[in-house]
Amino acid sequence: MIEKKPAVLVTGGAGYIGSHAVLALLDAGWPVVVIDNLSTGFAWAVPEGATLAEGDIADSALVASLIGEHGIGAIMHFAGSVVVPDSVADPLRYYENNTVKSRALIASAVKGGVRHFIFSSTAATYGIPEKIPAAEEDRTEPINPYGWSKLMTERMLKDAAFAHPLNFGILRYFNVAGADPAGRSGQSTRGATHLIKVAVEAAIGKRGHVDIFGTDFDTPDGTGVRDYIHVSDLAAAHVHVLERLIESPDESLLMNCGYGHGFSVLEVLNAVDRVTNAPIERRPAPRRAGDPPALVADNRRILSTLDWRPQRDDLDTIVTDALRWERLLAERGIG
Ligand code: UFG
C-alpha cells in the first residue's frame, strides 16, 4: 500500500485509453491532472475529479508549472497519434507527435524531478513478429512509422532512466477495445478506423458496412488476427505498474498488455452479430498498408510480475461494452 499518493499527470487524458486510465486512478484514490491539447480528445471525456489543463505536452513551461503546482510524482503518457495507415501516409507528423513531443515531455519529467514515467507503447513495435505469441525480448522491427515512432520513444526513455533518477513502465498494448463497464467513458473518436469501433458503429446504423481489409493473409480464415484487450483491464494494469514503480524505484518494466489469444476480423464481426442478434454487412477489401497478418501477446511477463489479472477477457463482453457506449454516443448526438 502506498501511504501518500502523489498526483499523477496523465497526458492524453481526454482521449480513449487515457480517460479510462484516469477513471482507474481516481477509483483507486490517486489525484489526477490531465494535459491534453484536445486535438482528438474531448474536454467532456475527462472524468469528473481530474483537473484538465488544455495544452501541449511539448510546452515545457506549461508542463513545468503543472509539475510544480500539483506536486506531480508520476507521468502516464498516452498523448499521441494512433492510426497505423495515417502514419504510413504522413510519417513526419507521427514522428513529431509521438517521438519529438515525447522527448520534450521526458525532458520536462527529468527537469521537474518526476521519478516515475509510464509510457503507452504498442505491439506495432514488433512489426511482423518473429513468433506468435510475441514476447518482450523478441525482435522489434516495426513495419510502419507508427511502430517506429513508439519504439524510438521506448529507447529514449530507457536511456533517460539510465542517466537520471527515473524509472519507467513501458506497456506494449495489443488491440485495445471496449468501454468502461459502468458507461462512464468509451471510444469517442470521430472517423474511427479501429475494427471493433467501426463494427459497432455499423451495428447501430452509423455506417452501412464494414470493409474486411485483406482476406488472403496467412491466417486460419485469411483475415487479420489480433489480440483484443478490454480498455478497463488495460487501465487497471497502469495502476498496478504505477504502484510497482513507486515501491521499487530501482526497477523498470517493459510489458506486453494483451490476453494472449487472437481473434480474426471475421470472428470479431461474428461476435458483433451475436451480441446484436443482427448481421452487419461485410465487404472484402484490399489489405491496408502496414498491416501485419497476426499480432498476439505473450503475456507471461505481466502476469508473473504484477497482481493484475484480466477481468473482462471475453470477446462478447468487449463488444457488449463497446456497443453500449456507441448507443450512448448516438443518444447524446455525439460523433
Ligand atoms: N480491420 C478491418 N476493417 C476495418 C478496420 C480494421 O478489416 O474497418 C482489420 C485490420 O486490417 C486488422 C484488424 O482489423 O487486421 C485490426 O485493425 P485495427 O485498425 O482495429 O487495429 P490495428 O491492428 O491496425 O492497430 C491497433 C492500434 C495500434 C496498435 C496495434 C497493435 O491502432 O495502435 O493495434 O496491434 F499498435
What's the angle, vertex CA 170, arms to CA 169 and CA 174, rounded to 5?
A: 135
Question: Domain limits at 157?
Answer: 7-177+227-257
**Each residue of 164-198: pLDDT tens digit?**
999 999 999 999 999 999 999 999 988 889 999 99
What is the pairing mode between strands 51-54 and 32-36?
parallel
Do residues 233 and 221 share a domain?
Answer: no
pLDDT of residue 308: 98
Residue from 16, 40, 84 to probe ligand 1 pocket by mutation (most atoms less than 8 Å from CB): 84
Q: Is 205 within the bounds of a domain? A: yes
Do residues 128 and 219 share a domain?
Answer: no
Q: What predicted TM-score, i.e. pTM, was given to this entire model?
A: 0.97
pLDDT higher than threshold 80 for residue 332? yes
Do residues 111 and 248 share a domain?
Answer: yes
Read off the CATH number of the domain in which 142 is found.
Answer: 3.40.50.720
SS3 string, the chain, reads: CCCCCCEEEEECCCCHHHHHHHHHHHHCCCCEEEEECCCCCCHHHCCCCCEEEECCCCCHHHHHHHHHHHCEEEEEECCCCCCHHHHHHCHHHHHHHHHHHHHHHHHHHHHCCCCEEEEEEEHHHHCCCCCCCECCCCCCCCCCHHHHHHHHHHHHHHHHHHHCCCEEEEEEECEEECCCCCCCCCCCCCCCCCHHHHHHHHHCCCCCCEEEECCCCCCCCCCCEECEEEHHHHHHHHHHHHHHHHHCCCCCEEEEECCCCCEEHHHHHHHHHHHHCCCCCEEEECCCCCCCCEECECCHHHHHHCCCCCCCCCHHHHHHHHHHHHHHHHHCCCC
**Each residue of 226-256: pLDDT tens digit?**
999 999 999 999 999 999 999 999 999 999 9
For residues 38 and 15, give the distance between their C-alpha atoms in angstroms, rounded to a whole number: 8
Do residues 72 and 218 share a domain?
Answer: no
pLDDT of residue 262: 98
**Each residue of 190-225: pLDDT tens digit?**
888 999 999 999 999 999 999 999 999 999 999 999
Nearest in space to 15 (alpha carbons), one of 173, 186, 200, 176? 186
Do residues 220 and 137 share a domain?
Answer: no
Contact present, 134 and 256 (Cβ < 8 Å): yes
Mean pLDDT to the nearest integer, 8-37: 98
Q: Is 122 within the bounds of a domain? A: yes
pLDDT higher than threshold 90 for residue 289? no
Do residues 218 and 236 share a domain?
Answer: no
Do residues 248 and 292 share a domain?
Answer: no
Quote the longest CA-to-CA distance of the chain: 56
Q: Residue with the nearest Cα to atom 19 of ligand 1?
A: 194
Do residues 134 and 251 share a domain?
Answer: yes
Do residues 12 and 92 share a domain?
Answer: yes
**Each residue of 130-171: pLDDT tens digit?**
999 999 999 999 999 999 999 999 999 999 999 999 999 999
Contact present, 161 and 118 (Cβ < 8 Å): no
Q: Is 131 within the bounds of a domain? A: yes
pLDDT higher than threshold 80 for residue 290? no
Q: Assess whether 146 carries a catalytic annotation.
A: yes
pLDDT of residue 12: 98
Q: Is 189 within the bounds of a domain? A: no
Q: Is 172 within the bounds of a domain? A: yes
pLDDT of residue 334: 84
- What's the number of CA atoms in the CB half-sphere (13 Å) around residue 85? 8
pLDDT of residue 51: 98
pLDDT of residue 291: 85
pLDDT of residue 55: 98
Residue from 81, 197, 291 to probe ligand 1 pocket by mutation (most atoms less than 8 Å from CB): 291
Read off the CATH number of the domain in which 269 is found.
Answer: 3.90.25.10
Q: Does residue 268 line the site of ligand 1, with CB under 6 A? A: no
**Cα 23 to averaged position of ligand 1 atoms, centre (Å):** 25
Do residues 128 and 237 share a domain?
Answer: yes
Q: Is 135 within the bounds of a domain? A: yes
Q: Is 187 within the bounds of a domain? A: no
Burial class (CB in 10 A: 0-12, 13-18, 19+), 245: buried
pLDDT of residue 180: 98
Do residues 26 and 127 share a domain?
Answer: yes
Distances in whole angstroms, Cα of residue 17 to Cα of each of 14, 79, 166, 210, 251:
9, 9, 24, 23, 25
Do residues 82 and 129 share a domain?
Answer: yes
Last residue of a domain, one of 235, 257, 279: 257
Q: Is 324 within the bounds of a domain? A: yes
Nearest in space to 106 (alpha carbons), one of 166, 150, 169? 166
Structural domains of the chain, count:
2
Phi and psi for 209 in degrees, rounded to 5? -155, 175
Contact present, 81 and 87 (Cβ < 8 Å): yes
**Cα 330 to averaged position of ligand 1 atoms, centre (Å):** 23
